[in-house]
Amino acid sequence: MASATDSRYGQKESSDQNFDYMFKILIIGNSSVGKTSFLFRYADDSFTPAFVSTVGIDFKVKTIYRNDKRIKLQIWDTAGQERYRTITTAYYRGAMGFILMYDITNEESFNAVQDWSTQIKTYSWDNAQVLLVGNKCDMEDERVVSSERGRQLADHLGFEFFEASAKDNINVKQTFERLVDVICEKMSESLDTADPAVTGTKQGPQLTDQQAPPHQDCAC
Amino acid sequence: MAEEANLHSLQELEREEILQVLYRDQTVRNIEEERIRKLKIHLQHLRWKGAKRVSQEYKEKSCARCQRILGLLLNRGAVCQGCSHRVCSECRVFLRRTQAWKCTVCFEDRNVKIKTGEWFFEERAKKFPTEGKRETAGAKLLQSYQKLSKISVVPPTPPPLSESQCSGSPGRLQELGQFKGFNKSMENLFLSVATHMKKLSKSQNDMTSDKQLLATGPRQCTGQSERRSQSDTAINVTTRKVRAPDILKPLNQESPKCPTNPVLKQEDLSSSPPPNTLFSGGLRHGSLISINSTCTEMGNFDNANVTGEIEFAIRYCFKTHSLEICIKACKNLAYGEEKKKKCNPYVKIYLLPDKSSQGKRKTGVQRNTVDPTFQETLKYQVDPAQLVSRQLQVSVWHVGMLTRRVFLGEVIIPLATWDFEDSTMQSFCWYPLGAKAEKYEDGVPPNYGELAVRAKLVLPGGPRKLQEAQEGTGDQPSSNGQLCLVVLGAKNLRVRSDGTLNSFVKGCLTLPDQQKLRLKSPVLKKQACPQWKHSFVFKDVTPSQLRQASLELTVWDQAVFGVSDRLLGGARLSSKEDPAGGTDSCSQSKLQWQKVLSSPNLWTDMTLILH
């Protein structure tokens, strides 16, 4: 997908130093669960039903304004296909947060969540923040994984959970924003424990100021 | 087109696509690095603003940040919880919604940690302590291309190539084709790299000596090192990694239907080229670091008549363990090229005895001046305990045409006597530049630290048996014993710039028949004075064999990914005359060794000087 959209990158993402900090996020999950669509919806607000398999890795940059801070997100979209696994896992270490995605109409993609989670545990840092996302929740007729199962698995793995649809733009923005928030929380935590002088005081980027978006599943 | 060709071209396209992504990522990274550099400079300035100056009475109570005099009753100042310095009310930042505050520097320090993402790297280091801080998978992948394609000298900024160089790439490929394990698909990979390089901007003017670079021979590496030094982004050597090359292998070797094992294949690493010839990316701020100083360290440089002085300040922050050398200016330097009256000076420093590339810091190059102003701060992370054993070597160099460097003078300051607590020592001082110090005086081998060992010759029957054995002809089966050696620890090793080492010891016992018994200790990570307390047992050796044998103990610093461990020093124990030996320390260790052999079943402690 990268080469097709090349001209679109460049100016926008280069030269722009106008942000407070940068987070790196990785989207992982089985092939064809909709990772690329999810990212395109979020970054470009576009959707194409055609399936184009991602080659290796790709990324998009989006700067958001959250809790009085401009946060530049470098969101890495990974190929779900097994054959690119060595490349994609190399990116785990640089990621502060993960979106682990499955397709609610595809049992296999849901069953693979456990394995993906293990991959994160293996290759990423200990405090990696993970959101489990069941994509394609617009396709209720073909649903094979119930919301309840998704939520249970997320609870079991200690992840937060969303059902989303890149096609209908449901919960896409919320997912990313929630992930940014939990990374921010981890950041404050990490700095405060490292700094005994301020233990107990919530400070720095006051991320708790704003209400966390409600934990909603897709209503459709 | 035949189906196979199609498949092949598809894979090539894949590489192309991934490369596109990698280059885009590189652009993003460069912006990020630049932003981070600015943030750090800002913090640096804040810190320096508060540094006590000589002119000021230290005893006078003043704000540690703005130097304002503090009163006895009004504006008495208060102690910052973060740094324990007393600061005035102006220099406090109240944390949101709390009564808690920090001084401006502590606040900024935290801020910078957030903004630079430093917090994440610190957290990650808990799980992956060897991971380079800012090195990303993308950088590594890209480097692997660049390394393999020998465009390794390209600085991290998008590397522009002139047309002539690109047209030269087939020749380059041909040359590369002679490397072992170089297959067809790799060539395609390089071709694609070359195409990509061509696409990138075309402003790099110091690529002119590229042709020369392709020629093999001693000048090749000097050319590289010059190129690197001139790039305005620094290269982080400490995070050298060579894992990347095999990450891309699946693309070259496997068809889409053949799944790849997700586990990275580490065993392939050994096939990577030696690190000295590699380009390592990842950026570091504040100083220029090049991979190797082949030209300046191997004596391949010209000497100018040394004149002039250099002004710098040395400070040490006990809190952050950071040694800061602020290079301000030079005056009255000799011309690097006397005839042309040309001088492009830069300053390079080492914390001796560490002369490794990791320990090098450089300023930028000032053009056409013998009175350059640098105003650059070069930093080291050094343990306070380490300081006493270090010497700061500050040398000035001229960057000549092509590869030539000209030595303009140096100053060596032993830090052992430096009082870092004394504020008068922190001020800028002019130091006269001197000629290059001799490598080591009068043929005395360098001392690279000491290794403490304890040795015992274990014989089955105790001392009496030994006497029998000695009286006998020698190789009696009954006298077979073992040599036990406990490697206790080492100190004063040539540590890395961060004051640590991942060190291990190799023992090699060479028997009279040239049979070699080798043993190795485990690696002790992150320690400057490692205490391995590891025992080597060389079994089935006889005293007579040992008298003819030699034992070599070498201390190594493990490379990050085990590609090329760095030899820190070694010692040789032998009762034979060592043709190369003859110095005091050698004969001393010889005596100790003889003591081990002559008093079986008793431990002998030895301290070996590493050479």
Beta-carbon pairs below 8 A across chains A and B: 157
Kindly state whether A4 is in contact with chain B, defined as any CB-CB distance less than 8 angstroms. no
Residue of A nearest to B23 (CA): A10
pLDDT tops 70 at residue A73: yes
pLDDT tops 70 at residue A90: yes
pLDDT at position A152, please?
95
Which positions 123-152 of A are in contact with B (Cβ < 8 Å)?
125-127
pLDDT at position A143, please?
95
pLDDT at position B304, please?
67
| Residue B555 burial (CB count, 10 A) | 27
Mean pLDDT of A142-156: 95
User: Min CA distance, A94 vs chain B (Å)?
Assistant: 6
**Cβ contact (<8 Å) for A21 and B116?**
yes
pLDDT tops 60 at residue A216: no
Mean pLDDT of A20-43: 94
Mean pLDDT of A147-161: 95
Q: Which two tokens stand for residue B172?
A: 């380059």
pLDDT at position B60, please?
60
Model confidence, pTM: 0.46
Mean pLDDT in each 10-residue stretch from start to end of chain B (611 residues)?
Answer: 41 81 88 85 75 51 78 78 80 76 82 86 80 72 62 38 39 39 43 45 38 40 39 37 46 44 39 37 36 43 77 85 89 84 89 77 87 89 77 87 78 79 77 72 60 84 48 49 87 75 87 84 83 85 83 83 72 68 58 81 83 78
Which positions 13-72 of A are in contact with B (Cβ < 8 Å)?
13-17, 19-23, 55-59, 61
Portion of chain A with pLDDT greater than 70, in percent? 80
pLDDT at position B29, please?
87
pLDDT at position B452, please?
87
Chosen for mutation from B26, B30, B34, B35 (greatest number of chain A CBs closer than 10 Å) is: B35
Chosen for mutation from B10, B14, B15, B17 (greatest number of chain A CBs closer than 10 Å) is: B17
Residues 6+ positions from B424 with CB-CB distance below 8 Å: B54
Q: Residue B264: list chain A partners with CB under 8 A.
A: 86, 89-90
pLDDT at position B258, please?
39
pLDDT tops 90 at residue A180: yes
Portion of chain A with pLDDT greater than 90, in percent? 58
Q: Residue B262: list chain A partners with CB under 8 A.
A: 82, 85-86, 89, 119
pLDDT at position B470, please?
46
Chosen for mutation from B31, B196, B320 (greatest number of chain A CBs closer than 10 Å) is: B31
User: Min CA distance, B108 vs chain A (Å)?
Assistant: 10
**Cβ contact (<8 Å) for B98 and A190?**
no
Closest partner residue to A195 (CB to CB) among B27, B110, B259 is B110
Higher pLDDT, A159 or B250: A159
The pLDDT tens digits for A8-18 are 343 344 456 77
CB A121 within 8 Å of CB A159: no
pLDDT at position A151, please?
95
Length of chain B: 611
Residue of A nearest to B29 (CA): A14
Mean pLDDT of A127-147: 94
Separation in Å, CA B427 to CA B63, B314, B318, B324, B405: 18, 7, 17, 12, 30
In chain A, the domains with their CATH numbers are: 19-189 (3.40.50.300)
Query: How do B361-362 and B86-87 pair as beta strands?
Result: unpaired
pLDDT at position B190, please?
45
pLDDT confidence tier of residue A210, bands split at 50, 70 and 90:
very low
CB A78 within 8 Å of CB A88: yes
Q: In sequence order, what DSSP letters do the residues of B197-234 get, joined into one string? A: HHHS-----TTTTHHHHHS-SHHHHHHHHHHHHHSSS-
**Cβ contact (<8 Å) for B114 and A85?**
no
